[in-house]
Amino acid sequence: AQKITQTQPGMFVQEKEAVTLDCTYDTSDPSYGLFWYKQPSSGEMIFLIYQGSYDQQNATEGRYSLNFQKARKSANLVISASQLGDSAMYFCAMTPGPGAAGNKLTFGGGTRVLVKP
């Protein structure tokens, strides 16, 4: 069984500053995929970034980067230069095996981020 833990239920961040959202995971699968999603108040799930367990480099997508530390089983999300529109709920998730193809996502409890002007 897979388990995702997000220890920060909520946090404030000043506009234009960087913020790190913590995510730790537990799995016995030899390969897996790690994801971060953003959920604004409208409810839609917005894909942010993906990291495969065998990827050598940390994933980056624009202002989002994933700090993947395999030995520590952590996959923290870093948002640089925070914007007011970044205020939302953020979920870390994982799948057994690479990618999301055919595999169900297991979600963490989420972290609510509020960006202050």
Partner 1 sequence: GAVVSQHPSWVICKSGTSVKIECRSLDFQATTMFWYRQFPKQSLMLMATSNEGSKATYEQGVEKDKFLINHASLTLSTLTVTSAHPEDSSFYICSARGTGVANTEAFFGQGTRLTVV
Residue numbers at the binding site for partner 1 (CB under 8 A): 33, 35, 37, 42-45, 47, 50, 52, 91, 98-102, 104-110
Structure tokens at 8: 């920060």
CB of residue 102 to partner 1, shortest distance in Å: 6
In the bound state with partner 1, the residue whose beta carbon lies nearer, of 3 and 16, is 3
Give the closest residue to 89 by CA, choosing from 116, 64, 114, 112: 112
Say what the alpha-carbon torsion angle 86, 56, 94, 46 is, to the nearest 10 degrees.
Answer: 30
In the bound state with partner 1, the residue whose beta carbon lies nearer, of 44 and 117, is 44
